[in-house]
């Protein structure tokens, strides 16, 4: 679609990923004129920032983009990278959003009662803005990386594709979230020596008592719990559970990998003199991940008992391996380390937002995407409203809510949330 930029829009959407496209879908349904500014290309993260063996962690049926549910013949399977891209491409074509790709927004501010949006394509004004740039704007790499020897290749997970791109030798993977654990497994299965630096990420069983755990959790109602439920507010900063959909789906058990030759360490504490240094918390990290694993299974056990469901018997995970020591350092040269993969997450980039909508942690203060400033909305954030808010499962539901509110605001019938917004 070739666009000529207008001086004013009813709405400007910043970000052309799944959240921004979902917003555009509903804006078009409401007949609201708008434009989408995308810094790179539409849905580029799916296409350009995933490794070759990437696949969904949640079952295909959870792909629920607006008016575009999973349309394949394997709802309980896990789409691989090319299949995911094809699914998203069909959504892109269906929405046919008015997107300006390669357009960087440098400033958003309110001037004379309207929002002024400065971008590399020009400056426009708008009655409303939807910030759909997520929390995953920039790869986060610790400053300690600067102390690694020059002959060691360093890449972030966004640049990892497969084991063959790395030089021969051992590989350190720093970070045990979903991406870190899956990449460590990818390398391990390829026969590479992997040194895995763990963090506080929890883990989850793939299958339990005859079904995918995600299916059980959907029945229990976990995906419908909102961030306003007691104790859930802090979830927006939590790390996702690690498991995989690879080869039909399975658990990721770092203890099993250790038995097979992978070396595990506690949190990285620094780098000095050619050595990576670690906190003495490997045991605690593994134990916490297993505690969550068993806790989720216990939740399913109680649900099965309450409903009188006929299912295979319950079980409790027993550790397959215990660290004999708490390793304090890794001599990189002595262990033949030639590559380090930083699976250390991302930082948001709200630098363009000149509006007071953030809390002390830099997270937008909002209630289901509605901020305290009339006409300003956010979308696509983890736990914006529910567990699925930042994912294919529920981003569409949040977008529908946001655009319904936005339409009411334009009509003058929707009050601005102020007191409730910080809840």
Contact criterion met (CB below 8 Å) for 349 and 378: no
Give the pairing type, strands 34-37 and 99-100: parallel
Look up residue 415 and give its two tokens: 């009050």
* pLDDT of the residue at 3: 84
pLDDT, tens digit (0-9, with 9 covering 90-100), for 161-185: 999 999 999 999 999 999 999 999 9
Q: Where are the alpha helices (DSSP H) in 2-80?
A: 18-30, 44-48
Using CB atoms within 10 Å of the CB of residue 356, give its burial: 0 to 12 exposed, 13 to 18 middle, 19+ buried.
exposed
* pLDDT of the residue at 109: 98
Reply yes or no on whether the pLDDT at 229 is more than 50. Answer: yes
pLDDT, tens digit (0-9, with 9 covering 90-100), for 46-59: 999 999 999 999 99
Integer Cα distance of 368 and 376 in angstroms? 12
Mean residue pLDDT of the chain comes to 94
Q: Which of 275, 250, 251, 274 is nearest to 265 (CA)?
A: 275
Using CB atoms within 10 Å of the CB of residue 133, give its burial: 0 to 12 exposed, 13 to 18 middle, 19+ buried.
buried
Contact criterion met (CB below 8 Å) for 201 and 242: yes
Contact criterion met (CB below 8 Å) for 99 and 1: yes
Reply yes or no on whether the pLDDT at 246 is more than 80. Answer: yes
Q: Which of 226, 232, 220 is nearest to 389 (CA)?
A: 226
Q: Predicted confidence band at 2 (pLDDT cuts at 50, 70, 90)?
A: low
Contact criterion met (CB below 8 Å) for 46 and 24: no
Using CB atoms within 10 Å of the CB of residue 8, give its burial: 0 to 12 exposed, 13 to 18 middle, 19+ buried.
exposed
Contact criterion met (CB below 8 Å) for 195 and 265: yes
Helix pair 395-411, 18-30: axis angle to 10 deg = 40
Find the mean pLDDT for residues 145-158. Answer: 97
Reply yes or no on whether the pLDDT at 236 is more than 80. Answer: no
DSSP string, 156-215: EGGG---GGGSPSSEEEEE--SHHHHHHHHHHHHTT--EEEE--S--B--SEETTEEHHH
pLDDT, tens digit (0-9, with 9 covering 90-100), for 380-397: 998 899 988 988 999 999
Find the mean pLDDT for residues 368-375. Answer: 96
Integer Cα distance of 82 and 66 in angstroms? 21
Find the mean pLDDT for residues 99-123. Answer: 97
C-alpha dihedral sign at 14, 102, 145, 282: positive
Look up residue 51 and give its two tokens: 């490794």
Using CB atoms within 10 Å of the CB of residue 416, give its burial: 0 to 12 exposed, 13 to 18 middle, 19+ buried.
middle
Could you give the C-alpha distances from 41 to 65, 80, 92, 101, in angstroms and in order?
Answer: 19, 21, 11, 5
**Quick one: what percent of the chain has pLDDT higher than 70?**
95
Reply yes or no on whether the pLDDT at 416 is more than 70. Answer: no
**Quick one: what percent of the chain has pLDDT higher than 90?**
89
Reply yes or no on whether the pLDDT at 422 is more than 50. Answer: no
């Amino acid at each position: 679609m070739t666009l000529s930029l207008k001086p004013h829009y009813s709405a400007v959407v910043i970000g052309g990923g799944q959240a921004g496209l979902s917003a555009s879908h509903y804006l078009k349904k409401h007949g609201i004129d708008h434009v989408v500014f995308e810094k790179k290309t539409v849905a580029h993260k799916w296409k350009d920032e995933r490794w070759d063996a990437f696949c969904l962690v949640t079952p295909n049926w959870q792909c629920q983009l607006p008016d575009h549910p999973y349309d394949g013949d394997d709802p309980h399977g896990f789409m691989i990278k090319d299949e995911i891209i094809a699914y998203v491409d069909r959504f892109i074509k269906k929405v046919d959003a008015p997107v300006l790709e390669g357009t960087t927004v440098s400033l958003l501010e309110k001037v004379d009662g309207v929002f002024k949006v400065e971008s590399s394509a020009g400056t426009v004004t708008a009655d409303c803005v939807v910030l759909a740039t997520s929390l995953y704007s920039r790869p986060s790499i610790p400053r300690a990386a600067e102390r690694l020897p020059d002959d060691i290749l360093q890449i972030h997970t966004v640049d990892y594709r497969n084991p063959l791109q790395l030089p021969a030798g051992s590989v350190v993977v720093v970070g045990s979230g979903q991406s870190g654990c899956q990449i460590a497994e990818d390398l391990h299965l390829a026969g590479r020596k992997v040194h895995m630096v763990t963090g506080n990420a929890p883990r989850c069983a793939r299958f339990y008592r005859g079904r995918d755990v995600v299916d059980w959790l959907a029945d229990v109602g976990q995906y419908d719990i909102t961030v306003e439920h007691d104790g859930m507010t802090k979830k927006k900063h939590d790390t996702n559970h690690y498991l995989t959909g690879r080869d039909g789906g399975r658990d990721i058990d770092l203890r099993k990998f250790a038995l097979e030759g992978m070396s595990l360490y506690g949190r990285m504490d620094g780098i000095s003199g050619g050595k990576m240094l670690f906190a003495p918390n490997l045991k605690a990290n593994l134990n916490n991940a297993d505690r969550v694993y068993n806790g989720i299974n216990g939740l399913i056990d109680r649900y099965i008992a309450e409903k009188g469901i006929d299912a295979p018997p319950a079980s409790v995970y027993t550790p397959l391996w215990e660290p004999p020591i708490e390793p304090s350092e890794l001599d990189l040269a002595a262990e033949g380390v030639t590559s380090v993969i930083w699976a250390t997450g991302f930082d948001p980039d709200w630098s363009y937002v000149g509006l007071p909508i953030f809390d002390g942690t830099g997270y937008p203060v909002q209630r289901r995407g509605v901020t305290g400033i009339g006409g300003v909305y956010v979308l696509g954030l983890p736990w914006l409203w529910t567990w699925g808010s930042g994912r294919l499962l529920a981003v569409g539901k949040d977008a529908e809510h946001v655009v319904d509110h936005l339409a009411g605001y334009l009509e003058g019938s929707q009050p601005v949330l102020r007191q409730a917004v910080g809840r």
